Amino acid sequence: MKEDGFSPMLHANIERMKLLMGYSSDFIVRELILPGNKKTVIFYLDGMVDKKELQDSVISALLDRTPVEPITLQELKDHVLDAGDVCIIHTVEAALEQIFSGSLFIMQDGIVDGLSVALPGWNDRAITESKTQSVVRGPQDSFTETLRTNTTLVRRRVKDTRIRLISLKVGKMTKTDVAIMYMDGLADEKQLQKLISRLRACQQDRVLEGEYLEEILHEKKQSTIFPTIYNTDRPDTIAAGIMEGKVALFVDGTPFVMLTPALFVDFIQSAEDYYQRPIYSNLIRILRYVALMICLLAPSVYIALTTFHQDMLPTQLLLSLAAQREGVPLPAFIEAFLMEVTFEILREAGIRMPRTIGQAVSIVGTIVIGQAAVEASIVSAAMVIIVSITAISSFVIPSYAMSFPIRIIRFLFMALSASFGVYGLTIGIIVLVVHLCHLHSFGIAYMSPSAPFNASDQNDAIFRNPFWKSTQGQTKQGKSS
């Protein structure tokens, strides 16, 4: 029924539109009598269109026209309307879609087609600093919730005709605009087609955030807790990714843009690595890998050493640890587990709670964990140190998406070393490495360019070469397994 065209009777059309919209209060039907006694009606959603533009370039233009002889829709579009994006609409379906994306829909009596005028006028959030991946030196802008703003932020950075943008609408209810941006000739055509066809096949009702799509884009065959799609709110990272032959996926309504394929190293690298001298960023990267290891292994190594391999500790350290553990009623594993869970609770609370009470939570958190627990001999001081260094290290991982798997695996490793000592931990690490090497993201091995090793791709794998030494733009692509 919605696929139908319009009827020549204007009042029938009005009635039909109103009925379809369920007489919603924000659905405005503005009736005009144009010079020449031509009945005209404008449909729009209140709040979705720019009122001032509506007044100036549509209503005034229609009413103030001096030649009074009736004209066709084509003429109206070409000569009268003062707006940029105007097109002729034939079906009710298309008309509604336009109205939902912030357009006016104009109909005249006796004509079965209508005109849509795009005058989106809702309120946008301004472009602000990146909240999740801030840098000291480097561009400070970040994506917003509006798709067009986001694609523009990237386009502005890469002035190349090879940039392609494909738009889709996904979600049966939300009809969310999705844009795929890539560099023609650099992106893997096969994977791109796969991506598009998966998006087209998407049967979901709603797409409110990128994650709704990320889940359908994941390889069905491989189940992993590691992210295989990168997301960021930094336009410079996306621009760099596109120039490396990756494919960016913009979803309207979210300031996070996804990038595929994503490799393990991408989650460990920060945009700022490229905005500082190579020697600085390489040292920082070493630090980051060390922090990653601490975050993953510190509690489990501590448990293994203190409950299985006391002989591996220096005597003085052992005596000092033993002194601290004196009077602690719980086994080291339970102690570590309790502390880690407490920290995860604090961390979650810190993210969810209103900003104003953050201070209170952090004070209670530090006093409860740091002071009282040690003084009451419920946990040992060494354990507080281990948990704190683990917690701080987990914030060094630049990508929030990567910190989840690391935190989960940390708990698994703790259990392994509590039951099997360093032996169990070693087995755990071996299984982890095997698993990581087994993964791939959109046809590219997850651990590349380290495994499989590719000497020519080492420019920016673990260490970054100076720009004059590396051919940026050719890296990290064409490594299909």
Partner 1 sequence: MKSMKRLCIVISILLTITMFLTGCWNRRELNTISVVLAMGIDWVDGQYQLSVQVSDPSQMSTNRSVSQRSPAIVFSERAPSIFEALRKITTKASRRMYLSHMRLVVISEKIAERGIRSPLDFLFRDHEVRPDFYMAIAKDCDAKDILSFVTPMEVLPALDLYKSLKVSETAWAPTAAVNVVDMMQWVTKDGIEPVLTGITLIGNRDKGKKMDNVNQPASMAEYKYTGIGVLLDDRIVGWLNESDSKGYSYITGKVHSTVGHIPCPGSPKDYFVAEVYKSQVKIKPFIRNGKPIIRVEMKNEDNVGEYHCQGDLGDEKFFNQLQQAARQQQKQLLQRSISHVQQKYGADIFGFGEAFHQKYPRQWRTWKKNWPEIFKNDLKVEIVVTSKINRTGKLMNPIHKEP
Residues lying near partner 1 in the complex (CB under 8 A) are found at: 221-223, 306-308, 310-311, 315-316, 318-328, 331-332, 375, 381, 418-421, 423-424, 427, 431, 434-435, 438
Q: Contact 58/104 with Cβ under 8 angstroms?
A: yes
Q: Under DSSP, is residue 41 helix (H, G, I), strand (E, B) or coil?
A: strand
Dihedral sign of CA atoms 327, 329, 332, 335 in order: negative
Nearest residue (CB) to partner 1, 353 versus 412: 412
Q: What's the residue count for the chain?
A: 481
Minimum distance between the CB of residue 438 and partner 1, rounded to whole angstroms?
Answer: 7
Distance separating alpha carbons of residues 307 and 377, to the nearest angstrom: 18
3-state secondary structure 77-134: HHHHCCCCCEEEECEHHHHHHHHHCCEEEEEECCCCCEEEEECECCCCCCCCECCCCC
Minimum distance between the CB of residue 432 and partner 1, rounded to whole angstroms?
Answer: 10
What is the end-to-end Cα distance of the chain in Å, rounded?
49
> What DSSP assignment string belongs to 201-215?
T---S---SHHHHHH
Distance separating alpha carbons of residues 135 and 178, to the nearest angstrom: 28
Question: Largest Cα–Cα distance in the chain?
Answer: 102
Distance separating alpha carbons of residues 311 and 160, to the nearest angstrom: 62
Minimum distance between the CB of residue 409 and partner 1, rounded to whole angstroms?
Answer: 13
Minimum distance between the CB of residue 218 and partner 1, rounded to whole angstroms?
Answer: 12
Nearest residue (CB) to partner 1, 152 versus 419: 419
Distance separating alpha carbons of residues 133 and 46, to the nearest angstrom: 36
**How is the beta sheet containing 176-183 ordered, strand by strand?**
163-170, 176-183, 247-251, 257-260, 230-232
Q: Under DSSP, is residue 136 helix (H, G, I), strand (E, B) or coil?
A: coil
Cα 394 versus chain centre, distance: 20
Q: Contact 188/480 with Cβ under 8 angstroms?
A: yes
Nearest residue (CB) to partner 1, 204 versus 222: 222
Nearest residue (CB) to partner 1, 64 versus 326: 326
Minimum distance between the CB of residue 264 and partner 1, rounded to whole angstroms?
Answer: 17
Nearest residue (CB) to partner 1, 64 versus 375: 375
Q: Which two tokens stand for residue 109?
A: 């009596």
Q: Which residues partner with 117 through β-bridges?
A: 86, 104
Nearest residue (CB) to partner 1, 231 versus 441: 441
Nearest residue (CB) to partner 1, 167 versus 419: 419
Query: Which residue in this structure is represented by tokens 């169990």?
Result: 424
Q: Exposure pattern of 75-103 as b/e (b: 16+ CB <10 Å)?
A: ebbeebbebeebeebeebebbbbbbebbb
Minimum distance between the CB of residue 450 and partner 1, rounded to whole angstroms?
Answer: 20
Minimum distance between the CB of residue 363 and partner 1, rounded to whole angstroms?
Answer: 22
Nearest residue (CB) to partner 1, 136 versus 434: 434
Nearest residue (CB) to partner 1, 222 versus 470: 222
Q: Containing H/E element for 169? A: strand 163-170
Minimum distance between the CB of residue 316 and partner 1, rounded to whole angstroms?
Answer: 8
Distance separating alpha carbons of residues 434 and 427, to the nearest angstrom: 11
Nearest residue (CB) to partner 1, 27 versus 420: 420
Q: Under DSSP, is residue 258 helix (H, G, I), strand (E, B) or coil?
A: strand
Nearest residue (CB) to partner 1, 283 versus 319: 319
Nearest residue (CB) to partner 1, 346 versus 415: 415
Minimum distance between the CB of residue 405 and partner 1, rounded to whole angstroms?
Answer: 14
Q: Which two tokens stand for residue 166?
A: 């494909």
Minimum distance between the CB of residue 428 and partner 1, rounded to whole angstroms?
Answer: 9
Minimum distance between the CB of residue 268 and partner 1, rounded to whole angstroms?
Answer: 23
Minimum distance between the CB of residue 286 and partner 1, rounded to whole angstroms?
Answer: 30
